[in-house]
Amino acid sequence: MLKSRTAIASMIIILVVLIDQAVKIWIKTHFYLGEDLQIFSWFHLYFIENNGMAFGMELGSKLALTLFRIVAVGFLIWYIIRIRALRSVPAGYIICLAFVTAGAAGNIFDCVFYGLIFNNPMPPQVATIFPEAGGYAPLFLGKVVDMLYFPLFSFVWPDWIPFVGGQEFLFFQPIFNIADAAISCGIIALILFYHRYILGPKALAELPVRH
């Protein structure tokens, strides 16, 4: 059981990171910045970049955010290792943690390496991987690639509604990537189904060390 849990978590992390990076590299080298390809009316591939956290949010300095991500992934991997043998913890909980870990790791690669291995030409030119002139940013200061856009529906707020009356509302506006989706799905599932299994620092410290 221990080996199967470890194998499943490892496989999820590796597959999500590989798929996330493959899609990002393909988008980066085939789309110019700001290009919008409509697949369906409710699904677009829309290439943007951002400095922030999931779904393009901004939080603090770029370097601090990248270092925080690295520390968070290291903690999650340590946490999974510590709890993987506990019979009281269901496999679904570990799987959710693996998705969150994979998503965070996927965005780390963008931040750490993309500034070094890609250039950032002006549209409509697309980026080149390993350009002769070098990358667009130093180590740790790369930008996160986003491309998944789901404008599912829109409507205009009635004029009588304060503050937003007469304005158009579009759902869903954020543009994100596969790593963001893995983080979000993992956290939502944890909150809905596995919140009671989350262990605090004291409980973690009391767990036996397994080799």
Question: Which residues form the catalytic set?
Answer: 146, 180
Per 3-state DSSP, the chain is made up of helix, strand and coil in percentages (nearest 5) of: 50, 15, 35
Q: Which amino acid is at 10?
A: S
Q: Two tokens at 148?
A: 């998944």
Residue written as tokens 């496989």?
11
Q: Is the distance from CB of 17 to CB of 116 less than 8 angstroms?
A: no
DSSP per residue, 98-155: HHHHHHHHHHHHIIIIIHHHB--PPTTSPP-BS-TT--SS-TT-PPEEEEEE---EEE
- Positive or negative: CA dihedral 125, 126, 130, 135: positive
Q: Is the distance from CB of 146 to CB of 56 less than 8 angstroms?
A: yes
Q: Is the distance from CB of 144 to CB of 110 less than 8 angstroms?
A: yes
- Positive or negative: CA dihedral 120, 123, 127, 128: negative
